[in-house]
Amino acid sequence: MARSPAATRLFAAPACAALLLLTLLAACSWRGESSPAAGTATPLISPAAGGSTPAAAAGGGVVQATPEPPTPLAASPTPTAAPSPTPQPAATPEPTPTPHPLFAYTIDGLRSRQYPGGTIEILGTLDATDAYTRYAIAYPSDGLRITGVMHVPHGQGPFPVVILNHGYIPPEQYWPGADTWREADFLARRGYLCIAPDFRGWAGSDQGPNYFRTGIVIDVLNLISSLPSVPQADPERVGLWGHSMGGGLVAKAITIDPRIDAAVLYGPVSAYDLDNIQKWGDGLPENTTDPLAPIYREAARDPAFIRLTSATFYFHYVTAAVQIHQGTADTVTPPEWARSIRDSLQLAGRSVEYYEYPGQGHAFQGQSWQLFMERTAAFFDTHLKGGGA
């Protein structure tokens, strides 16, 4: 049944009122929402351009909603890079110790260097016997020219080599072969090629540094390196013989060079350098212009440094067989020094033969000298000839 316009208006009015009420309630509900907690991602609807909301109902009026400013999102924390470990200061490297200016003349210094040697030059023939020919020679050692005497046996070589090292003789009184000629003759007649170097500062040899008597040790080790230049010499069979200062030289050499097979010490100076310095001085002339002289003189008075230059503390390095001969009446090199060398070698577990000659002084005489040399030759025969003469 069709409604009259009046009835329609009666029904429409309440409906419009209800719709309006619902719209207002919805708007109030929207305004009353609490802001989201900081950090909660609640989506917000921004009003469209023009600022109006959708119509409340078809045919109804448009309600203008005053837009609320958007609730700002809680600022997301700026990502913070993981903290880097606090750099620790680098450890300061220990400074490399500066070597002592005289380290090269200690036993360890001498062991750490090379001995290149060179060519043994024949300067001329001195004489010939029924058993050998004797030559004047020269060879290089650390830039110096060192002279000496060489005895070459007659016959077919190569021959085992014995280097004979003289004791201290004032340079102005020394002549080539002094203090070694009798022993060289004895051994050359038994098939040994014998060389007696003059050392730096003696005879025709050049002058050179000789701190703690190590310059002469260097000369001998360079001589060993030069042996291959002599066809008659066997560089694989090498013995050293030394008297007095030469004996001290031999004691040092055997702590440095394993090429030495056998060593004979005859009335040797002490293997502890302080003994020698206290008895004879440091070896430098008072008026020397050597720039290292002040350092050397200070080191020569320092027992701690002297230990570094003294063979007696390094006998554990010895590979050569050793024989020692000492006169009981020797007032130049007292028997206590030779006995100390013997004891130190034995303590180091090294092979050593020791002989004393009652009543003999610094240079043996008569039958004592003959016995000494027979023992020397037999010792070299054992270690350089395999036991054969």
Within a 13 Å sphere around the CA of 310, how many CA atoms are in the beta-carbon half?
23
Which amino acid, 137? Answer: I
353 located within any domain: yes
Q: What is the pLDDT of residues 252-285, one digit of tens each?
A: 999 999 999 999 999 999 999 999 999 999 999 8
d(CA 159, CA 313): 33
Domain membership of residue 151 (yes or no) is yes
Torsion-angle region of 96 (φ positive above 0: left; ψ -120 to 50: alpha; else: beta): beta
Task: Kindly state the average pLDDT of the residues 23-34.
Answer: 42
Is residue 11 one of the residues assigned to a domain?
no
How confident is the model over 181-217, as pLDDT tens digits? 999 999 999 999 999 999 999 999 999 999 999 999 9
- CB 160 within 8 Å of CB 219: no
Range of the domain at 196: 103-384
- Whether 143 is covered by a domain: the verdict is yes
- Alpha helix stretches (DSSP H) within the chain: 5-31, 107-111, 181-188, 215-226, 245-256, 273-280, 293-300, 303-309, 335-347, 366-384
At 94 the pLDDT is 73
Q: Is residue 289 part of a domain?
A: yes
For residue 306, the model assigns a pLDDT of 98
Other Cβ atoms less than 10 A from the Cβ of 282: the count is 16
Contact indicator for 222, 148 with CB cutoff of 8 Å: no
- Residue 307: CATH number of its domain: 3.40.50.1820
Q: Average pLDDT of 380-386?
A: 97
Round to whole Å and give the CA distance between 331 and 31.
125
pLDDT of residue 77: 52
* Torsion over CA: 27, 28, 32, 33 (sign): negative
Task: For residue 338, count other CB atoms closer than 10 A to its CB.
Answer: 27
Q: Is residue 44 part of a domain?
A: no
Kindly report, residue by residue over 65-99, the tens digit of the pLDDT. Answer: 444 544 444 445 555 555 566 666 666 777 777 88
pLDDT at 350: 97
pLDDT digits (tens, 9 = 90+) for 323-356: 999 999 999 999 999 999 999 999 999 999 999 9
The pair phi, psi for residue 280, each rounded to 5°, is -120, 0
Buried b (16+ CB within 10 A) or exposed e, 176-193: bbbbbbebbbbbbbbbbb
Identity of residue 63:
V
Token pair 């060192």 is found at 146
Q: What is the pLDDT of residues 109-166, one digit of tens each?
A: 999 999 999 999 999 999 999 999 999 999 999 999 999 999 999 999 999 999 999 9
Bridge partner residues of 239 (DSSP): 162, 262
Q: Is 216:200 a contact under the CB 8 Å cutoff?
A: yes
Using one digit for the tens of pLDDT, what is the confidence trace for 214-259?
Answer: 999 999 999 999 999 999 999 999 999 999 999 999 999 999 999 9
Q: Is 50 exceeded by the pLDDT of residue 25?
A: no
Per-residue model confidence (pLDDT) at position 356: 99
265: three-class secondary structure by DSSP: strand
CA 261 from centroid of its chain's CA atoms: 26
C-alpha dist (Å) from residue 102 to 109, 111, 113: 9, 14, 14
C-alpha span between 147 and 202 (Å, rounded): 9
**DSSP notation for 90-106:** PPPPPPPPPPPTTGGGS
Of 41-55, 186-200, 357-371, the range with the lowest mean pLDDT is 41-55
What's the DSSP call for residue 254?
A: H
233 vs 288, higher pLDDT: 233
171 vs 86, higher pLDDT: 171
Answer yes or no: is pLDDT of 287 > 70.
yes
SS3 237: strand
The residue count for the chain: 389
Q: Is residue 27 part of a domain?
A: no
Q: Number of folded domains in the chain?
A: 1
238 or 39, greater pLDDT: 238
Question: Is pLDDT larger for residue 277 or for residue 37?
Answer: 277
pLDDT for 87: 62
Q: What is the pLDDT of residue 61?
A: 40
Q: Let me know if residue 82 belongs to a domain.
A: no
Residues 6+ apart with CB under 8 A from 19: 56, 57, 60
| Residue 158 preceded by cis peptide, ω within 30 | yes
165: phi then psi, degrees, rounded to nearest 5: -115, 120
Q: What is the pTM of this model?
A: 0.76
